[in-house]
Amino acid sequence: MLKQQGSNRVYTREYDAQGHSYIRVEGTNRDENRAFIYISRHFADLGLPVPRVLWVSEDEMSYTQEDLGDTILFDHLDDYTLLERAIRALAHVQVTGAKDFDWSVCFPVPAMDERSIRWDLNYFKYCFLKGTKIEFSEPQLEDEFDKIVANCTLATSLSPAAFLYRDFQSRNVMIKDGQPFFIDFQGGRRGPTQYDVASFLWQAKANFPPETRARLIDAYLDELKQLQPNLSEEAWRAALPHFVLLRTLQVLGAYGYRGYFERKQHFLESIPKALCNLRDLFATHSELQTQYPYLYALCHDLLLLL
């Protein structure tokens, strides 16, 4: 049995008579399993770096996939070459992967829309913020949630259709023969490309320095513009901080749920780093302080918890 992270899926490594290994996955939700199986097969057919699904049970509650080994990108964050390969490959998964994609199979929704953005924000409010016992103004917070929804929805409407990985971070990138392979994309859906970049470069425990983030954003945009020649780099960069904010709040919700309620130590340890990311984001982007003054003030109160 392999170590679990945030989900309740059970992973085991199995061997055949010749000693070849495979990964067996026991899922808890049939629709989520179907999403992974479809996306994996769709991407593999396009030549994208994902594990191939080799067998599916009749009830679709378990499946076997290609074994990519045990090396994850998270353990090699000091290797810039691997980081750049991963983020350049992401652009291909997002753009090439969206071709002829059946969005109806996505779990739990086919696209990142206003409702799903608000789910993420409520995740932060109910699973993290309320767990801290800090007093806060719910009307003021909701007013700024409305602004985040409006800004992210506008940016999404201006972007061409792309596959949003949803949880693109270094623990979900395997390294095999020096190349990145992607896993855990069962929550993917149609959405803006900035969200995945935010997920990757602002991953709390990765703790990338600003200069590394800047270099990787440049590399990513270089790749993305080859796939989307009409891309407005200025508009893309202007929208990115709003998605970093959204993702950081969503992640704090996840850390609160997995840490405060499920008592998983790894997630509790990540909370201070995510709060520091939030602080640095506001410090770097003064326009966010202006647009979201209540969240900016709330951030300072949260930092007192550290």
| Residues of the chain above pLDDT 70, percent | 99
Mean pLDDT of 298-305: 92
Half-sphere exposure of 3 (CA within 13 A, CB side): 6
Average pLDDT along the chain: 95
For residue range 262-277, what is the model confidence (pLDDT) as tens digits?
888 888 889 999 999 9
Query: How many Å apart are CA 271 and CA 128, to the nearest integer?
Result: 10
Residue 264 burial (CB count, 10 A): 17
CATH topology of domain 71-303: Aminoglycoside 3'-phosphotransferase; Chain: A, domain 2 (3.90.1200)
Q: How far apart are CA 61 and CA 48, in angstroms?
A: 25
Give the mean model confidence (pLDDT) for residues 108-114. 95
For residue 6, the model assigns a pLDDT of 61
Cα–Cα separations (whole angstroms), residue 239 to 150, 235, 287: 11, 6, 11
Answer yes or no: is pLDDT of 5 > 80. no
CA distance readout (Å), 170 to 181, 262, 269: 11, 23, 17
Q: Is residue 4 scored above 80 in pLDDT?
A: no
pLDDT for position 39: 98
Residues in Cβ contact with 153 at an 8 Å cutoff, skipping those fewer than 6 apart:
113, 114, 117
Instruction: Express each pLDDT in 122-174 by its tens digit.
Output: 999 999 999 998 999 999 999 999 999 999 999 988 888 899 999 999 999 99
Q: Which long-range contacts (CB under 8 A, 24 or more apart) does 5-8 make?
A: 5/171, 5/266, 6/254, 6/258, 6/264, 6/267, 7/184
What average pLDDT does the segment 234-249 reach? 97
Q: Cis peptide before 272, with omega less than 30 degrees from 0?
A: no
| Amino acid at site 71 | T
Min mean pLDDT across 73-77, 123-127, 213-217, 265-269 is at: 265-269
For 80-94, the pLDDT digits (tens) are 999 999 999 999 999
